Amino acid sequence: MLERRIAAKSASSLFYEEYNDVDIYIEDTAVGYRKIFKELLNKALGSKFSIEQVFPIGNRDEVIAECEKNQERTERKRVYIVDGDFYLLNGGDREDLKGLFVLPRYCIENYFFNEEAIAQTAYEEEAEMEMDDILRGIDFNHWLNENEKTLLELFIVYAICFKHIPSEQTIGFKVTKLCSSNSGIVCPDKINNRITELRNKLIAYFGKERLELEIGIIKENIKSKDKKLLRFISGKDYLLPLMIARLQSFLKFSPSSTTLRIRLAMKSEVDELVAIENYIFE
């Protein structure tokens, strides 16, 4: 039944062959994500390809499985896009599949965090406050730097839990539990307590020496990476709620989560996504 459902979703691209130069399959099936991907991908690829529709298939494993089933050449250009997730910290996966593009950030929401895009969206929602005041309220670099110090350490431990004890809650642990104010900046003490709790579980699982080794390997692998907060921390589950809280702390800002995502997608930078062109195959 599941396989038939996925096959049917994949086959829906047949109805758009006239309009799409390339068939793009994604894992996000929630309301609004077709639009989000269309906005981002048309900005990244629209000068070379006509993209009228994208096709959500299911979860990450289902998209990868569908890509694996369709490795033979056809007359249709196609590409399969999945989130980077914790695999970015844990060393990647499935790089052998033709047509599979793994986002070089945790998820598609990680592309929303551009200071100008956030400020412009807030400005459109705010009837009185001027742009300069909004930019000062956001204080984007301060928000980035303060959250990166603590959240990166947490997500390294999350990634190790995901790899070894996947039953342990990671991004399902709400970021609001890690805050002590409405500033949109996590509380260092609460983060440290959460890290300690998870470290103790990992030490019980395979020992302190192994844990420190794995932490060291991850830190060495990501040492040269830029934009670490925007690359490795979940934009959907952690960064977006934090930024919304920060905006709401100084202005009346209450767009629905779906429309906010679409509006940010319309304004976001997509330079990294241009690389998808290299993964398109037929």
Q: Could you tell me the residue ranges of all domains in the chain? A: 2-109+271-279, 112-267
Question: Across all residues in the chain, what is the average pLDDT?
Answer: 92
pLDDT in tens, 109-151: 999 999 999 999 999 988 899 999 999 999 999 999 999 999 9
Rounded-to-integer distance, Cα 112 and Cα 262, Å? 9
The structure tokens 């412009």 sit at 120
3-state DSSP assignment of residue 24: strand
What share of the chain has pLDDT > 90, as a percent? 82
Rounded-to-integer distance, Cα 221 and Cα 38, Å? 32
Contact between 185 and 122 (Cβ < 8 Å)? no
What share of the chain has pLDDT > 70, as a percent? 93
Q: How confident is the model at residue 28 (pLDDT cuts 50, 70, 90)?
A: confident
Position with higher pLDDT, 255 vs 234: 234
56: enclosing H helix or E strand: strand 55-56
Contact between 126 and 134 (Cβ < 8 Å)? yes
The conformation of residue 66, written as its DSSP 8-state character, comes to: H
pLDDT at 3: 56
85: left (phi over 0), alpha (psi -120 to 50) or beta: left
pLDDT at 86: 97
Rounded-to-integer distance, Cα 272 and Cα 274, Å? 5
Q: What is the mean pLDDT of residues 28-47?
A: 92
Q: What is the mean pLDDT of residues 77-106?
A: 92
Number of helices (H), then strands (E), in the chain: 12, 4
- Of 217, 229, 237, 280, whose CA–CA distance to 109 is shortest? 237
pLDDT in tens, 168-221: 999 999 999 999 999 999 999 999 999 999 999 999 999 999 999 999 999 999
pLDDT in tens, 215-243: 999 999 999 999 999 999 999 999 999 99
Rounded-to-integer distance, Cα 61 and Cα 219, Å? 26
Q: What is the mean pLDDT of residues 269-281?
A: 95
256: left (phi over 0), alpha (psi -120 to 50) or beta: beta
pLDDT at 11 over 70: no
Rounded-to-integer distance, Cα 214 and Cα 49, Å? 42
Rounded-to-integer distance, Cα 221 and Cα 212, Å? 14
pLDDT at 276 over 50: yes
pLDDT at 142: 98
